[in-house]
Amino acid sequence: MGERLIAVGEVMLDIASAELAPGETTHAPIRVRAGGSPVTAALWAFSCGIDATVVGRVGADHAGIAVRASIADAGVDPRLSVDPERPTGTFLEAGTGAHRAIVADRGANAGLSVSDIGELSAAAVLVSGYVLLHDDTAEAGRAAIERAATSWLAVDAGSAGLVTRLGAEAALDWMSGANAIFADADEAQALTGETGEAAATLLAERFRLVCVKLGAAGAVASLDGIVERRSPPERLLQGAAGAGDALAGVLLAGLVLGLDLGDALERACAAGTRAAAGRAPG
């Protein structure tokens, strides 16, 4: 299988600006890059020294061309189908703190199908909950889980809203077959009714590896009965987009490379901090 991570799910054109003044025209830096949970995880995993592939769907538009090129230029293999009708998905983030606002258009991601998945043979496979727990792409998400030939088959919980809409047991049923799960504090609570280490303990009854991402407090992880908790090396921006995805990619890469859980989690928390600060992988 080799030292490779394959990340399956949403592929987005990611646009962000920290400056937002409602009712006013503002001149400020705007960041445009390839985004989406699987893309971010794959880019950060690649920065750890393993190969990485993204499986997803983009539109037949200039945004799709740019996203594909950006992923490939970074060294990650973009295995992306092209949707002839839907545009490339777009993620827009503006402002910070209480003024932070996000708008997401799933676009071509809503058309991800079983035929887009292909072969998934790698040391680690990560399947996004945004694909697995949406009705229109659930079959593609399940196909990814069922086709994966891997030591680490991980799912990301996606969002607390998706889990709540389906119900915890139904969401966990869709994740069956995976041996690892990543969830933020809200997602873990939606899945278990508990928080922090208590949530990790309950999820460990179903998954060999559990990582509950705690934002500014770092993360707690459980592997084969061993529990580790790490804090970020510097203050982490609460709710910063991409931080948890970077953490997931680096944690999986660390385990693939043979690190113990504590060392892998420490590196993963550091990566989440860098991603939250807008720094590139590496």
Ordered domains of the chain (ranges, CATH): 4-9+37-59+116-276 (3.40.1190.20)
User: 22-31, 40-49, 126-135, 269-278: which range is least confident on average?
Assistant: 22-31
Q: Between these two residues, 33 and 21, which has the higher pLDDT value? A: 33
Inter-residue contact 5 to 257 (CB < 8 Å): no
pLDDT score recorded for residue 195:
92
- Tens digit of each residue's pLDDT (9 = 90 or more) over 174-207: 999 999 999 999 999 999 999 999 999 999 999 9
Band of residue 272 on the pLDDT scale cut at 50, 70, 90? very high
Arithmetic mean of pLDDT over the chain: 94
Determine the Cα–Cα distance for residues 206 and 72; give it in Å rounded to an integer.
35
Written as one letter, the residue type at 52 is A
Q: Is the pLDDT assigned to residue 71 strictly greater than 60?
A: yes
Band of residue 240 on the pLDDT scale cut at 50, 70, 90? low
Q: Between these two residues, 20 and 254, which has the higher pLDDT value? A: 254
- Sheet of strand 226-230: strand arrangement: 77-83, 51-59, 4-8, 124-127, 152-156, 180-184, 209-213, 219-223, 226-230
φ, ψ (nearest 5 deg) of residue 60: -85, 60
* Angle CA 204–206–210, to nearest 5: 40
Helix (H) or strand (E) holding 113: none
Q: Between these two residues, 126 and 239, which has the higher pLDDT value? A: 126
pLDDT score recorded for residue 236:
55
Rounded mean pLDDT of 152-172? 97
* Angle CA 244–249–254, to nearest 5: 125
Inter-residue contact 112 to 8 (CB < 8 Å): no
Determine the Cα–Cα distance for residues 254 and 82; give it in Å rounded to an integer.
32
Determine the Cα–Cα distance for residues 158 and 16; give it in Å rounded to an integer.
20
pLDDT score recorded for residue 1:
55
Distances (CA, A) of 133 to 9, 67, 140: 11, 24, 10
Q: Could you tell me how far CA 1 lies from the centroid of its own chain? A: 22
